[in-house]
Amino acid sequence: MPIYEYVCDDCGEHYERIVFNQKTEVTCPKCDSGKHTIQLSVFAAPANGAKASGGGSPAPSGGGCCGGSCGCH
C-alpha cells in the first residue's frame, strides 16, 4: 500500500499517511491543516536482487549408449 509523506504548508510538520484512494483527507496532526505538499511516496518495493541460480552443470555426456554396450552401430 502506498505511504505518502506530507509536509504541512502551514507549520512545516512532516507526517506520513497511508492513502487508500485519492479522496482520503489528509490533515496535519499538529495544526490540523489540510494544506500540504506531498514529499514522496514510499512503496514496499522488493529489492531487485539477483537470483543465485548457479549450478549449471552440463548434462553428463558419453558413456551409456554408443559406448559399445548397446550396439547402436
Which parts of this chain interact with Zn ion (CB under 5 A)?
Answer: 8, 10-11, 13, 28, 30-31, 33
Min separation Cβ 27 and Zn ion, Å: 8
- Going 56 to 61 to 63 to 64, the CA torsion angle's sign is positive
Q: What's the grid cell of residue 52?
A: 543465485
Min separation Cβ 10 and Zn ion, Å: 5
Min separation Cβ 41 and Zn ion, Å: 20
C-beta of 10 vs 65, nearer to Zn ion: 10
Residue 7: CB partners within 8 Å, gap ≥ 6? Answer: 13, 14, 36, 37, 39
